[in-house]
Structure 1
Amino acid sequence: MVVFLVTFFVLMLIGVPICFCMLGSSALYIIVNDISARIIVEKFCTGPNSFTLLAIPFFILAANLMNNGGVTDRMFTFCRKWVGHFTGGLGHVNVLASVIFAGMSGAAVADAGGLGQLELKAMRDAHFDDDFTLAVTGASSTIGPVIPPSIPAVVYAVSAGCSIGGLFMAGIIPGLLMAASMCVVVYIWAKIKNYEKDPKATWKERWIATKRGFLSLLTPAIIIGGIWSGKFTPTEAAIVASLYAGFLSFVVYKQLKLSDLKALLLNTAEQTIVSLCIIASSAVFGWVLTYERIPQIAANWFLSLSDSPTVFIFLSMGILLIVGCFMETIAAITIMTPVLLPIATSMGYSPVHFGVVMILVLMIGLITPPVGLVTYTLANISGVAFTRIAKATMPFLGVLLIVLICIALFPQLSLFLPGLMGTGV
């Protein structure tokens, strides 16, 4: 077991992709312990063999279509006309746009890389400084995987065996609390810096922006409404989202041509392969953890410290926060869920509530060093140093941690909607 763990951490520290860290260390363990190598192939192939996981490529495709097909542009204009005149101006627009985009794609990096480029240009043109611009863009991107639909939620639901519909609904109130807390920071920051705000749009301008973006804004309603009403499953919702985004981009807005489809599909395939390779490798990795009874050892360790559910949830958040600082979200979910969830449920926590807490913690990890994928994405598209962006996001990190603690301590903030809508808790 020592060789297994040392190999995993050494590979990770020297920069080997996380899927090969898991697969390599697991393969070494199986070979050293003279276990049939057949288990590697079996678990690697069966790990991603799930109908539910089909949602991942379709949500990625939907995000790519929206970012390239004029959908996000119309959505951003709509937000600007409605909230751009508040103190903080485009900062509030940035947050609201991320909330709406969250109801379409479910991926933080897609928000930062696609919508983020649009927000970055608009805020620079309006003479906002880069620290504020990139901080609010990075922080608001973390809303994406919390408000449904959510790719991390799909992965967690498969790992935990819980209701995806329930998990989707459970993310709405926490996501809105995240947005509200960020708007408070935007307001205070703008007051201190005396940033300019947009002139208040006329009702005619708002009507034009709403009419222009109406079909784009229907996307979250179609996805969430379809799941809630039982018209389609979350996986089918992803397919519907892709078809609808394609219809808007190719037919209605005519921003894309058929010749663009090949590049979009290739990009989607590349992103999907990365995610599914991590899931496949984690199935082998998870088998080794189970074989060595790591979940039971972890449970005994937690119980030796305290049998208090509150102490457990705070210890779990601390561990996940550290893991999220170093590890990609999907890998972290697939590794940590089998270890922490059995303990959480034994202490009375709902799998859905614990899933929301886990996803929120790991989203915070996307903007914290040393990995911080969202921060790296913003550094690449802006040309601003990673460390400068990470430092600038500290005020937003503070309010996100407050929201996280509230969600952890008051389960009904996440379980109220799933209970009300009967989607499972």
Structure 2
Amino acid sequence: MTRSPKFPNLARLALCGGVFLSSVSASLFLPAFSSSVRAAWEDSPKAVLDEAWQIVYRDYVDPSFNQTNWMALREELLEKDYSSTEATYGALREALAKLEDPYTRFMDPEQYQALTNQTSGELSGVGIRLKADAVTGLLLIEEPIANSPAMAAGVKSGDRVLAIDGAQTLGMEVNQAANLIRGEVGTDVALTLSRDGKQFDVTLRRARIEVPSVNYSVKEEGGNEIGYIHLSQFTSHAAREMRDAIRTLNQENVDAFVLDLRGNPGGLLYSSIDIARMWLDTGTIVKTVDRDSHNEELLANHTSLTHLPLVVLVDNNSASSSEILAGALQDNHRATIIGTQTFGKALVQSLHPLSDGSGIAVTIAHYYTPNGTDISKKGVIPDVEVRLSRREQQQLAQNPATIGTMADPHYSRAVMFLESSLLAQPTGRSNQLSERPVEGAAKAGVVQN
């Protein structure tokens, strides 16, 4: 067995639809400058250009760089003089565009911070979700996040936000208001709210908030109890939350599970691997190939938490890590996939911080489902296709409370399928393995071929 030096255990480092965080090493190509010259170089906007160039040169999945002379491009970038940081960023974006890879991209400091917050599942704020009233456009509290300063202060869903630190919110966009509420941990923000026609003020101290990525409940459907789990993104906390959800629903003696991955854009690769192992005892989860054609096969490791019947819901916004999980469960015959064809992103990126707080995402590998299927631009094809009419899509969008109920066509089809599956079992409840083991699968968690 061989292991690529550029790929030390891909599952622990990479992200799909997201990325892994790593430090940037010193320049591999800088000449032996004096300390004063080197300090000036490191403070120059060109240093960020060179950092990003080197990361692409070292890690990018296509060693031909889309038939671009990457060495000549470095010289071209560093020869130019740039009038501003923004001009430097623009030149870098133009250089990356030559790869014709939308997933290899540069992010300014604000964009980079937003992405790292998203994949970490944490943010700095007071723990409220905002929305604009569909009719009036007024800002409302959609819900306070559990265990947040807002929840502790008694903020409730439906509260109207009139002002933020004295700034009136009339005509303010949701994103603009959210940016005003966010801030440094330990600082305060004053909100003027109204509830039932009464106006009041509340001062909240900002904190580090863990944003849940898993929601679950028990649903009684036709005499059966269904464990419904919605996974919104594969964050750093998602595996722990999923484990808690499955264990809790097992204690509730559910008869089957529905795992909802609709709208899930992806996230950390290792999170999807950990979650797949909660449903699979044996078999391959995903296969990856890097720029040097090194293969890595990631396997289940006999740690599944349930063998009950499982349906996975997907749509065309289920991408990357969602597709890895759905593909693994489908190819191993562990779950029935219901919905519409998924997004079709079969690439893995790594995310690197740059010295000025910006960052770069770089495609480092291609992945395949356990059966060797390349889902690029094709997606995972559901076992049972359920297409929604435009009217049905609008109804779900306008009434999110109906998602995961019998008014939701994807969910209702899943319930129908599970009912027929449960009726076909002699005891009405299965505690047997519902996945088909892959012959010759090793018992190790990760194998490199």
TM-score by length of 2: 0.22
Judging by fraction of residues, say which structure has more helix: 1
Judging by fraction of residues, say which structure has more strand: 2
**More RCO (CA 8 Å, sep 6+):** 1
Work out which of the two has the higher radius of gyration on C-alpha atoms and give 1 or 2.
2
TM-score by length of 1: 0.22
